[in-house]
Structure 1
Amino acid sequence: MKARSLAGWAVVLAAVLATAGCGGSGDKAAEKARVRWAFMLPTSWDPVTSRTGADINTVSLAYASLTRLDKDGNVQPALAQSWTYSPDGRTLTFQLRDKLKFTDGTPLDAAAVKAFFERGKTQKDSFLRPEIESIASFDTDGPLRVVFHLSRLDYQLPYVMAGRVGAIASPTAAAKDKAKLALWPIGAGPFKMVEFVPESHAYFVKNPDYWDAANIHVERLELTTLSEPTTTIASLVSGAIDVASIGPKRVEEARARKLTVTTAPSLNASDLMINRNKPPFDDPRVAEAVRYAIDRGELVKTLTAGLGTPTNQPFPPHYFAFDPQTRDKWAYDPARAKALLAQAGHAPGSLTVEIVINPLINEGLPELLQAQLGRVGIKSRLRIVPPGSSSWQSEVYIAKRPATAVDGTVGRESPVQNLLAVYGPQGIMNLSGPYAPPAFLKAIDEVRATPIDAPQYKERLQRATRLGAEQSPSVWLFSTPFIVATRSRVKHLNIVPSQIRWEGVTVE
């Protein structure tokens, strides 16, 4: 009932705001600079209760983060114009820009940042807590300096703060009704929400008080839920939408229909998540058999139109966290897969597994995995879980009910953050959670304690990747770049490794 009442509140308020905004000389200009974007709605509009890495693409419409990444994945100033660690690494201080404010008029100062992270630590339904567990307490040093006191060394934090973890929400709005923030964001980002209908759409107008407003050229952004992959191109051609991510198999069609297709390096990686707590995968030999049953080369050839790259870990091969020592591990070997199944007591055709799938992502992948498993004697059935903002998240990411599920990561701002999301005890993509390999967790602590510019940083990071891949049952498959199709009126897409941003994007 509470969710319904909040949803109703959002729709009613949207109607009031939309009516109030009708008319005026600026309408034609706003219409010309309007962009309609088809993308997944976030799991929550409140960064504290947002659950997935992909949420940053939409949460960042309404919120600005303390830092942000450039196209090379390097951390850059945002709300914070600078940051420094103490000599012993136990204190991290962010210097905020002056005269920042939220869209409700509340000043965005050190006290507001402190209040946001304290809420992330204490709010019962916070998904921020595990992301900031290395921070023992927060303090202010004047109106523009916020101080993190660390419980242990963590040199990843400036990168972590470039995503939803560092997307600061208004403390005034949270104090009034923090549940409303899940449906109506109050931030200091490039846009301000003016309409929201859950599971349908969210409309925004430009926020003139955004710290980088000079680089926002879109006056109105209309976010709509993803359509079926088979209809996305038609929606773009008709003008129903202007921007949408598409799968590799749709690139040729998009170009043939005179759409602009932009590809950019990404941290995307698809996988078959496996739950070691559910039979038959409580026998590690069965999980290992699945690793050898998968022909990644066939997946890439069949599904990615030459744009994908095989990977057996949660990073693409071009990324510095990718571990070259395990590059060729678990090469396709159906004979070995069959032998492992026999050792586990499963005769050919005697084992049936259920694979949970989301129909709006990984087009064609579940069926091809089903065929490859069948070649080694594993029968499987596919079960669709509705891809709305609650169903998949609740069943797969939170309850961890499936034995297997086809999914993927879009990466995170920090490589350690991504490794913990897929292998960590509270990782939403660790279907075996709360299990996490102890050696992996120890390696992660070593990476966190290593400055980014230290000579041993890359080696330690790759070792953590290796231990996670070796000791977790999930099967990584291939990576693909960002692939975005647009109508010709949209120019200069701004794609960084973990998200799509709107600074610099223009509309004709």
Structure 2
Amino acid sequence: MRNSLYAALLLSVSALVALPAAAADLRIGLQDDPDVLDPDQSRSFVGRIVYTSLCDKLVDITPELEIVPQLATAWSWSQDGKVLTMDLREGVVFHDGTTFDAEAVKANIERSKMLPESRRKSEVKSIESVEVTGPYQVTMTLAQPDATLLAQLADRAGMMVSPTAAAAAGADFAAKPVCSGPFRFVERVQQDRIVLEKFADYWNADNIHFDKVSFLPIPDTTVRLANLRAGDLDMLERLAATDAASVKADDKLTYADAVSLGYQGITVNIGNGERGNTPIGNEAKLRQAFELTLDREAINQVVFEGAFAAGNQPFPPTSPWYDKSVPIPARDIAKAKELMKEVGVETLDVEVQVANNPVQTQMMQVVQSMASEAGINVKLKSTEFASLLADQSAGNFEMSQVGWSGRVDPDGNIHSFLTCKGGLNDGKYCSEEVDALLNKARTSNDLATRKASYDAAEKILSKDLPIIYLYHPTWIWALDKKIEGFVPYPDGMIRLENVRLAGQ
């Protein structure tokens, strides 16, 4: 009998030992559903969050905004600033088994420059040619010095996709993106989920501690937080500022934040198709009148409980790139009405599309109320975020409340949006003088020279107002207490290196 019991015990123990370890899955709540999952074609902030797990870049940044190696291990510039040589990491493969090497980098840069649908063209415009100077070395020759290039390569322009998959799929690459990041693509259900699983052959796999990551778009901030508290999410991005105190007081949750590099504003359709042919699209004075109805600090206090920073430029007032000679204008209803009369109107009807989440909707309702006091009747069109971006690209909008997550280099906050052929210039604003100034700022490594160019451009833009800037957010995350190792970054990305479940 004892022998039978002993044998049974041994069988039980061996069965227990044979069981696989429980899968470590991470569920992240996003404020929006990403747009197309192709680094060359996409433009949404939440898309970049997904890419951080899916697609490694040539270089990355630290929380202090220093450029550091990722797929490129070292780089050097020629004395004239027109040749960039990069040494590449060996032993890296894409998710389809294609080798990452110098030929792959060359193919990626050329795709960003040549793919008809690419939105990265202006970001890599300075690169005249890419030469393979060794199996794991590339040399980029520039048409002129480009102070912004490394910062561009720390973002979507530097994300490396499999040249094999890209060549086969063309513009349809986003249906099944293939990169070389810590997680590979599994599935996407629009408006529901994006699922990635750990890539076993990732070069830095030892520091990745989740088997699966699911990104779940939940636009309603209240619902997103409720899902976190109920255990249906493990973390969320963009916690509402009004919920910050509640999360800080919850011993089951962790609060994290970082000051953003970006902005939120209202883009005006000035020349993108028939819907740009409107009074506010044609008349800068009407855009000036609209701006004068705004009390930006009141918006910050009412909607964000003072957690964000009011702003009127692509850079926050605390940035060294901010032009202090163009301060945030005070609210002036009388002056707004005067400008409207100069154009020959007493009332003005405008339609502003806004993402269908409660925070942005509330903010625009405050703007709507403020504008009405000058006779500007704002009609709000609530739109799912990816559709909002598609409408902008197509010119199917009059005004659009939209933001930008910000970039390390100031060029990333302004050039693509406000140069005549900028890849993100949905309003189709065009000023040859602004183009010349912003292009000049790109070609100098002297900070004073660059600052002078940005200041001169801002003086024009503050009158033309193709984008009416509103505020600069603070990124806020909330996490289940069991998640350890998360580091907040000013770019708002969720980097999963060394992030793990407690006890792992």
Name the residue aligned to 1:385: 383
1:354 counterpart SS class? strand
8 Å Cα contact 1:35-1:220 kept in structure 2? yes
Give the whole-Å Cα distance in 1 for the aligned partners of 2:18 and 2:292.
64
Name the residue aligned to 1:8: none
Name the residue aligned to 2:114: 122
CA deviation profile, 1:224-267 (whole Å, cap 9, x unmatched): 11242231111111111111122212223434554322111112
Give the whole-Å Cα distance in 1 for the aligned partners of 2:205 and 2:186.
18
1:254 to 244, 247, 250: 247
In structure 2, do the counterparts of structure 1 residues 378 and 428 end up closer, same or farther at CA, with 3 Å as the change threshold? Answer: farther
Name the residue aligned to 1:225: 217
Matched, 1:139 2:136: no
Name the residue aligned to 2:362: 364
In structure 2, do the counterparts of structure 1 residues 27 and 225 end up closer, same or farther at CA, with 3 Å as the change threshold? Answer: farther
Matched, 1:44 2:36: yes
Q: Which amino acid aligns with 1:344?
A: V
8 Å Cα contact 2:284-2:464 kept in structure 1? no
8 Å Cα contact 2:293-2:370 kept in structure 1? yes
Name the residue aligned to 2:390: 394
1:489 to 455, 460, 482: 482
In structure 2, do the counterparts of structure 1 residues 301 and 436 end up closer, same or farther at CA, with 3 Å as the change threshold? Answer: same
Name the TM-score, length of structure 2 as normaliser. 0.88
8 Å Cα contact 1:353-1:378 kept in structure 2? yes
CA deviation profile, 1:334-362 (whole Å, cap 9, x unmatched): 11111111211122xx3211111111262
Report how far residue 429 of structure 1 moved.
5.3
In structure 2, do the counterparts of structure 1 residues 27 and 152 end up closer, same or farther at CA, with 3 Å as the change threshold? Answer: farther
In structure 2, do the counterparts of structure 1 residues 454 and 227 end up closer, same or farther at CA, with 3 Å as the change threshold? Answer: closer
Report how far residue 89 of structure 1 moved.
1.9
8 Å Cα contact 2:120-2:423 kept in structure 1? no
2:62 to 70, 80, 90: 70
Give the whole-Å Cα distance in 2 for the aligned partners of 1:442 and 1:323.
18
Name the TM-score, length of structure 1 as normaliser. 0.88
Give the whole-Å Cα distance in 2 for the aligned partners of 1:284 and 1:456.
28
Output the aligned Cα RMSD: 2.3
Q: How does 1:234-273 map to 2 (within 5 A)?
A: 234-245=226-237, 246-258=239-251, 259-273=253-267
In structure 2, do the counterparts of structure 1 residues 455 and 473 end up closer, same or farther at CA, with 3 Å as the change threshold? Answer: closer
2:416 to 403, 415, 421: 421
2:352 to 337, 352, 355: 355
Name the residue aligned to 1:35: 26
For these two proteins, the number of residue pairs brought into alignment is 476
2:178 to 161, 186, 189: 186
In structure 2, do the counterparts of structure 1 residues 459 and 71 end up closer, same or farther at CA, with 3 Å as the change threshold? Answer: farther
CA deviation profile, 1:19-58 (whole Å, cap 9, x unmatched): xxxxx96853423xx2100123432222122233552211
In structure 2, do the counterparts of structure 1 residues 230 and 54 end up closer, same or farther at CA, with 3 Å as the change threshold? Answer: closer
In structure 2, do the counterparts of structure 1 residues 278 and 495 end up closer, same or farther at CA, with 3 Å as the change threshold? Answer: farther
Report how far residue 205 of structure 1 moved.
2.2
Give the whole-Å Cα distance in 1 for the aligned partners of 2:264 and 2:434.
21
8 Å Cα contact 2:227-2:233 kept in structure 1? yes
2:81 to 75, 85, 89: 89
Q: How does 1:412-491 map to 2 (within 5 A)?
A: 412-427=407-422, 430-433=425-428, 435-451=429-445, 454=447, 456-491=449-484
Name the residue aligned to 1:109: 101
8 Å Cα contact 1:421-1:427 kept in structure 2? yes
Report how far residue 506 of structure 1 moved.
2.5
8 Å Cα contact 2:262-2:407 kept in structure 1? no
Name the residue aligned to 2:318: 318
Give the whole-Å Cα distance in 1 for the aligned partners of 2:427 and 2:58.
32
1:95 counterpart SS class? strand
1:499 counterpart SS class? coil
Report how far residue 460 of structure 1 moved.
4.1
8 Å Cα contact 1:53-1:412 kept in structure 2? no
1:324 counterpart SS class? coil
Matched, 1:303 2:303: yes
In structure 2, do the counterparts of structure 1 residues 337 and 264 end up closer, same or farther at CA, with 3 Å as the change threshold? Answer: same
In structure 2, do the counterparts of structure 1 residues 54 and 130 end up closer, same or farther at CA, with 3 Å as the change threshold? Answer: farther
Give the whole-Å Cα distance in 1 for the aligned partners of 2:164 and 2:33.
24
Name the residue aligned to 2:491: 498
In structure 2, do the counterparts of structure 1 residues 26 and 50 end up closer, same or farther at CA, with 3 Å as the change threshold? Answer: farther
Q: Alignment identity in percent?
A: 27
8 Å Cα contact 2:266-2:469 kept in structure 1? yes
In structure 2, do the counterparts of structure 1 residues 465 and 217 end up closer, same or farther at CA, with 3 Å as the change threshold? Answer: farther
Larger mean CA deviation between 455-464 and 120-129 belongs to 455-464
Name the residue aligned to 2:374: 376
In structure 2, do the counterparts of structure 1 residues 284 and 461 end up closer, same or farther at CA, with 3 Å as the change threshold? Answer: closer
Q: How does 1:145-156 map to 2 (within 5 A)?
A: 145-156=137-148
Larger Rg: 1 or 2? 2
8 Å Cα contact 1:423-1:472 kept in structure 2? no
Larger mean CA deviation between 351-360 and 247-256 belongs to 247-256
Q: Which amino acid aligns with 1:212?
A: N
Give the whole-Å Cα distance in 2 for the aligned partners of 1:428 and 1:243.
32
Name the residue aligned to 1:56: 48
Give the whole-Å Cα distance in 1 for the aligned partners of 2:18 and 2:148.
47
1:103 counterpart SS class? coil
2:94 counterpart SS class? coil
Name the residue aligned to 2:14: none
Larger mean CA deviation between 423-432 and 197-206 belongs to 423-432
Report how far residue 121 of structure 1 moved.
2.2
8 Å Cα contact 1:267-1:497 kept in structure 2? yes
Give the whole-Å Cα distance in 1 for the aligned partners of 2:146 and 2:261.
22
In structure 2, do the counterparts of structure 1 residues 67 and 175 end up closer, same or farther at CA, with 3 Å as the change threshold? Answer: same
Q: Which amino acid aligns with 1:415?
A: P
Give the whole-Å Cα distance in 2 for the aligned partners of 1:462 and 1:26.
64
1:404 to 364, 386, 399: 399
Q: Which amino acid aligns with 2:353?
A: V
In structure 2, do the counterparts of structure 1 residues 447 and 306 end up closer, same or farther at CA, with 3 Å as the change threshold? Answer: same
